[in-house]
Amino acid sequence: MKKFLYIILIGLFSSCNSLLDVEPEIMVSFDNFYKTEQDLEVTLYQLQDFVHGRLFDIQTQEKAGMLDDYTGNSLAEWYWTPTTIIGGQGTNWSESYWVVYMANVLLENMGTAAAEVSPERLQYYEAQACFAKGLAYFIIGQRWGAVPITRNSTSSEVYGNKPILEVIDTAIANATKAFNYLPKQSELQDRLGAKITSKQFGSKGSAAALLAHAYAWKGSLIDLLGLEGNSKDCYDKSIEYATFIIDGEAGAYSFAGSPEALCELFSDIDKENPETIFELTMDMQDDIITAPYVLGAGYIGYPYHPDVTKPSSHKWSGKSLISYETIEKLYEEQDLRPEEYFYEYEAYRSADSAKITGGYAFPNKWRSFVYTTDPNLAGKQKMAAVKTNYAYWRLSDIYLLRAECYVKTEQDGLAQADLNRVRSNANAVAYPGGRDDSRGLQYAIFHEREREFLMEGHRFFDVIRNGMEYINRELKGTFTTMTLMDVKDGAIFLPIFDDAFELNGLLRQNAYWSQFIN
């Protein structure tokens, strides 16, 4: 059977609606394209480009979950305002589905190169495609819940919504294949035998991290939404894959050593960060240099941003802001993180300095940036990007995720040990002696994730995994009065964007968002 790659006329893989809801305009046959390993590698690099530039394109939920005191983002995201979020660009899944599409292209066509490529290398490319596909369905499922699962890359049929757990299971099935066949990060090689240092490619460690998160998410949704399934089994599987990472069976990962060392590694793209498991690699050779998905970039002002030249102008910069009051509630005095996460923290948090700062801190978690010259203003520089390899999953995350699952399976002693291992890196008070530890171990773990991953964008999904009480208490706006029925109807997920329905009569908006559509 002939295989075809559908290409949109506007430009090869240009920004457009996905094949879920757009008719193909040109068909290019791939019958004879895949002959050598170089052909497979080219497709893998194209897939990696999509992971880098498209998969995490929508960050509406991440913005809604940020712990801050003023948002430079849309207040609609902060407060989850239905009438504004519906139909917004922040709900469009097109870019994310390109990753699924390109992974399918590789999986369906790689067999034609079997005569020239060894079985071991074919298995490697299959595993890389499965990792990207599993990651894509996990991310898409977190954002939209019940979504289409495409059959292949060639069919122009329309697809209806699949149940939430089926989407997560699709992510798990692909990630499991990747975990079984991918080598450890240190053993990744390209077709010429050169070591692959980028942690954006799939590895046994990144596949294990994906599985740990996917199982934890699945178990949490079973509990929260009352879905059919055994949540304890899911938490046990999450613990299993997290343990593969922590025990070194999925690769060699270690803590940076201190908050200072971690921030320095965040700010040097040429140094390998031993703590990161999966990251988005910055490409300084791109024509347009970007560091996608670093939500913390929205907080960067003085002393790094060219438009914020003095401390007193930071509060008027339009940037998202975190107050010293919030920071002091988060961290205890001996905790080393505030001094590293914020520029000259001790000097500027005093009451006297509040007259200058307005009471807002200067983020310092990332300290290296790409600047360009504004062509419209001679000599005027602008900040183009945070110069960092964005650490999406790192070892601290896996320890705290495992601790969370230990609590949910009534293994409090093990949970406490994992929590305190992370706290020890920052010189924080061990549990149960911390200031807020009287609220219980589950909250202490959630709170530690707030402290460790501040400005990194994980908090919304951390809240959801912890259940209804956390949704009402820890998020803003509509979330504070949201009911369990609202959540079961789909309130925590994004609405499907309007254009998706134009060419797909099988799609259905979820019940929560449907009530706000005229």
Give residue 48's identity as a one-letter amino acid code: Q
Rg of the Cα atoms in the chain: 23
When pLDDT is cut at 50, 70 and 90, the band that residue 8 belongs to is very low
Reported as a single tens digit per residue, the pLDDT across 75-87 is 778 889 898 898 7
Query: Region 439-449: what's the mean pLDDT?
Result: 99
The rounded Cα 102 to chain-centroid distance in angstroms is 19
d(Cα 278, Cα 453) in Å, to the nearest integer?
15
What secondary structure letter does DSSP report for 9? T
Q: Could you give the 3-state DSSP secondary structure of residue 167?
A: helix
* CA dist 110 → 19, 34, 106, 124 (Å): 21, 6, 6, 11
Contacts of 180 (CB under 8 A, 6+ apart): 127
pLDDT for res 288: 62
Query: Region 177-184: what's the mean pLDDT?
Result: 99
157 vs 159, more confident: 159
Q: Among 517, 512, 515, which Cα is nearest to 146's?
A: 512
Reported as a single tens digit per residue, the pLDDT across 271-326 is 999 999 999 998 777 656 665 578 899 999 999 999 899 999 988 887 899 999 99
d(Cα 338, Cα 43) in Å, to the nearest integer?
43
Reported as a single tens digit per residue, the pLDDT across 205-230 is 999 999 999 999 999 999 999 999 99
Cis check for the bond before 495: say yes or no (omega within 30 of 0).
Answer: no
Reported as a single tens digit per residue, the pLDDT across 42-60 is 999 999 999 998 998 889 9
Contact 302/362 with Cβ under 8 angstroms?
A: yes
pLDDT at 6 over 70: no
pLDDT for res 32: 60
* CA dist 158 → 19, 90, 275, 352, 433 (Å): 9, 23, 42, 62, 56
Place of tokens 């994310």: 96
d(Cα 274, Cα 508) in Å, to the nearest integer?
44
pLDDT for res 290: 62
pLDDT at 10 over 80: no
pLDDT at 190 over 80: yes
Contacts of 351 (CB under 8 A, 6+ apart): none
Reported as a single tens digit per residue, the pLDDT across 317-342 is 878 999 999 999 999 999 999 999 99
Reported as a single tens digit per residue, the pLDDT across 102-146 is 999 999 999 999 999 999 999 999 999 999 999 999 999 999 999
When pLDDT is cut at 50, 70 and 90, the band that residue 34 belongs to is confident
In order of their start, the domains of the chain are 1-58+93-181 (1.25.40.890), 295-388 (no CATH)
Place of tokens 């998020």: 475
pLDDT for res 292: 58
Q: Among 271, 134, 105, which Cα is nearest to 199's?
A: 271
pLDDT for res 289: 62
User: Mean pLDDT over all residues of the chain?
Assistant: 91
d(Cα 510, Cα 372) in Å, to the nearest integer?
43
d(Cα 254, Cα 252) in Å, to the nearest integer?
7
Cis check for the bond before 303: say yes or no (omega within 30 of 0).
Answer: yes
What letters, b where the CB count within 10 A reaches 16 and e where it falls short, cover 418-435? bbbbbbebbebbebeebe
pLDDT for res 20: 45
Backbone angles phi, psi at 454, to 5 degrees: -55, 130
pLDDT for res 202: 99
When pLDDT is cut at 50, 70 and 90, the band that residue 154 belongs to is confident
Please provide the DSSP assignment of 46-74 as one string. HHHHHHHHTTT---HHHHHT---SB-SS-
Strands 26-29, 390-394: pairing is unpaired
Cα angle for residues 486, 491, 495 (degrees, 5° grid)? 140
Lowest mean pLDDT among 168-182, 229-243, 252-266, 348-362: 348-362
